[in-house]
């Protein structure tokens, strides 16, 4: 009996020791969650972001990690399935105990994980340009808000003498909201309703004959015409192929795109597309020492000298470095402390300047307009003179122009209405 008790005690002790050992071991690394689709329709864009996060973590570990601890990446695959994003986010935070998550691409995936991050009070870095109209305590938006991409692009074209506008987009929330903002902005600048054509197409649309010929027709009314494209992902390749085949030249009807970067052009023969435009906060062709270093590391990491870099990758680069710096300032990875210390953190971006995290959880970035070159790269033809701060709530929409976001105490509010003086207007 006694021996039995002894063994029991011993077993408990051993179990206790192993348990303690396990926790001690777990505390030696800081876990970073990566929530990007590795299968399904969005894998085409998101897999690259997973790779870039792994690279950044590896590089940071070479420098000794953070707070003296190594970083450990936890990769999950939400498979381009929006509800699965929420489940996987919950798994990362509650089961894997990650301290921060980098992830999501589409707005609907972000909306799907928002409640999870709020409930479990964790941190999400979102690296993609989006429609704005959101500012959430647990989310840091390192991609462009509409005023950091769409508005400067339209300004550039207006300067070039464009009077007639085609707003073409894929039918979902980002193009619809962006086009609403642009329509209001264009009308505010004296463009007549007749001179704006809005067109939506389904995801993965592949037969562009009618629409491209409509654009041609719309562009032949005797005024300089441009197309503002919020066409997403897969649909772009057949769209540009049809443009090239029907002989629409950038000199006559330029297309400025917000979702087409180096990665998307990699599957295309760009010779017929020279001169079409894209607006981003980063191009691979940007000439800066940071960028040269980044590209070199990336090509070495992927072991592929042909791999290209793009804007959302830079957003993760900025976001990751901001998080590292904020953790070092806070001295802990606890969510509340890091969220507070993130505001005001300034890190170098890849275009030769510095980006800062603002109280509305958006960052400051330069805006670059680039033209497609025959080698599949962009050449910057215009850039904003300084940094543009991201505006969570558009000034051009009636519902949101009175809203501001400031997560510093004492306001601590993502949608403060300056008219009514109350927190809580539209959205979250």
Partner 1 sequence: MNTTFKSHASLLLFLFSLFLFVPAAPAHADELTDQINKLAEGGFNDRQKMIEALAATGDSRVVPALEALGDGMLYQQKLGGKVFIVERAGSDFKLIDPVTLEDAGKMPKSALEKIKVNNRLRRTVRDALGGLQLNSKNAADRLAAAGAVFQSRDPEAIPLLDAAIAKETKADVKKVMLEARAAAVLSSDLDENAKLEAIKVIEERSGRDSRSLLLNFANTAEGKLKTAADESAGIIERSLAAWAGVQNVWYGLSLGSVLLLAAIGLAITFGVMGVINMAHGEMVMLGAYTTFVVQDVIRTSYPQLFEVSLLISIPLAFLVAGAVGVAIERGIIRWLYGRPLETLLATWGISLALQQTVRSIFGPTNQEVGTPDFMSGAFEIGQMTITYNRLYILVFALVVLAALMLVMKRTPYGLQMRAVTQNRSMAGAMGIRTDWVDALTFGLGSGIAGIAGVALSQIDNVSPNLGQSYIIDSFMVVVFGGVGNLWGTLVGAMTLGVANKFLEPYAGAVLGKIVVLVFIILFIQKKPRGMFALKGRAVEA
Q: Which residues bind partner 1 (CB under 8 A)?
A: 38-41, 43-44, 47-48, 160-161, 171, 199-202, 204-207, 209-211, 213-214, 216-217, 219-223, 234, 237-238, 241-242, 244-247, 250-252, 254, 263-264, 266-269, 272, 274-275, 277, 371, 373-374, 379, 381-382
Question: What strands, in cross-sheet order, belong to the sheet with 139-141?
Answer: 70-76, 29-35, 100-103, 124-126, 139-141
Closest CA to 312 of 134, 141, 86: 141
Minimum distance from residue 365 beta carbon to partner 1 (Å): 22
Instruction: Indicate the DSSP class of residue 363.
Output: B
Q: 239 and 231 in contact (C-beta within 8 Å)?
A: yes
Burial of 174 by CB count in 10 Å (0-12 exposed, 13-18 middle, 19+ buried)?
Answer: buried
> Could you give the CA distance from residue 352 to residue 30 in angstroms, rounded to a whole number?
30
Choice between 247 and 398, CB closer to partner 1: 247
Choice between 64 and 352, CB closer to partner 1: 352
Choice between 86 and 157, CB closer to partner 1: 157
Cβ count near 329 (within 10 Å): 15
Minimum distance from residue 243 beta carbon to partner 1 (Å): 11
Choice between 170 and 335, CB closer to partner 1: 170
Minimum distance from residue 235 beta carbon to partner 1 (Å): 9
Minimum distance from residue 381 beta carbon to partner 1 (Å): 4
Tokens of 154: 């339209």
Minimum distance from residue 422 beta carbon to partner 1 (Å): 38
Choice between 234 and 406, CB closer to partner 1: 234
> Could you give the CA distance from residue 21 to residue 19 in angstroms, rounded to a whole number?
5
Choice between 93 and 255, CB closer to partner 1: 255
Minimum distance from residue 177 beta carbon to partner 1 (Å): 17
Tokens of 317: 């680069």
> Could you give the CA distance from residue 145 to residue 128 in angstroms, rounded to a whole number?
9
């Amino acid at each position: 009996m006694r021996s039995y008790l002894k063994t029991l005690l011993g077993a408990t002790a051993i179990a206790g020791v192993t348990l303690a050992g396990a926790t001690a071991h777990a505390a030696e690394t800081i876990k970073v969650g990566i929530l990007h689709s590795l299968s399904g329709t969005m894998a085409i864009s998101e897999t690259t972001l997973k790779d870039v996060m792994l690279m950044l973590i590896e590089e940071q570990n070479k420098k000794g990690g953070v707070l003296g601890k190594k970083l450990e990446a936890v990769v999950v695959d939400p498979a381009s399935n929006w509800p699965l994003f929420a489940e996987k986010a919950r798994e990362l935070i509650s089961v894997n105990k990650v301290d921060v998550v980098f992830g999501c691409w589409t707005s609907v995936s972000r909306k799907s994980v928002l409640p999870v991050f709020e409930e479990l009070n964790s941190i999400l870095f979102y690296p993609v340009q989006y429609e704005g109209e959101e500012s959430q305590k647990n989310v840091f938006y390192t991609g462009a808000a509409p005023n950091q991409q769409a508005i400067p692009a339209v300004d550039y074209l207006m300067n070039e003498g464009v009077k007639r506008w085609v707003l073409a987009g894929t039918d979902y929330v980002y193009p619809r909201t962006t086009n609403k903002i642009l329509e209001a902005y264009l009308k505010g600048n004296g463009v007549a309703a007749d001179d704006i054509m809005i067109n939506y197409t389904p995801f993965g649309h592949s037969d562009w004959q009618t629409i491209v010929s409509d654009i041609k027709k719309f562009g032949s009314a005797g005024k300089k015409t441009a197309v503002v494209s919020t066409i997403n992902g897969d649909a772009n390749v057949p769209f540009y192929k049809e443009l090239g085949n029907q002989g629409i030249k950038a000199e006559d009807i330029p297309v400025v795109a917000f979702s087409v970067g180096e990665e998307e052009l990699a599957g295309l023969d760009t010779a017929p597309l020279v001169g079409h435009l894209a607006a981003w906060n980063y191009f691979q062709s940007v000439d800066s020492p940071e960028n040269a270093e980044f590209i070199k590391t990336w090509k070495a990491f992927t072991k592929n000298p042909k791999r290209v870099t793009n804007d959302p990758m830079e957003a993760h680069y900025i976001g990751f470095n901001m998080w590292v710096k904020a953790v070092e300032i806070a001295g802990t990875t606890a969510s509340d402390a890091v969220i507070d210390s993130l505001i005001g953190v300034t890190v170098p971006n890849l275009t030769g300047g510095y980006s800062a995290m603002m109280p509305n959880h958006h960052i400051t970035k330069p805006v670059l307009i680039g033209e497609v070159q025959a080698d599949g790269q962009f050449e910057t033809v215009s850039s904003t003179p300084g940094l543009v701060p991201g505006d969570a709530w558009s000034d051009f929409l009636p519902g949101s122009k009175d809203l501001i976001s400031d997560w510093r105490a004492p306001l601590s509010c993502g949608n403060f209405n300056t008219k009514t003086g109350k927190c809580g207007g539209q959205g979250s």
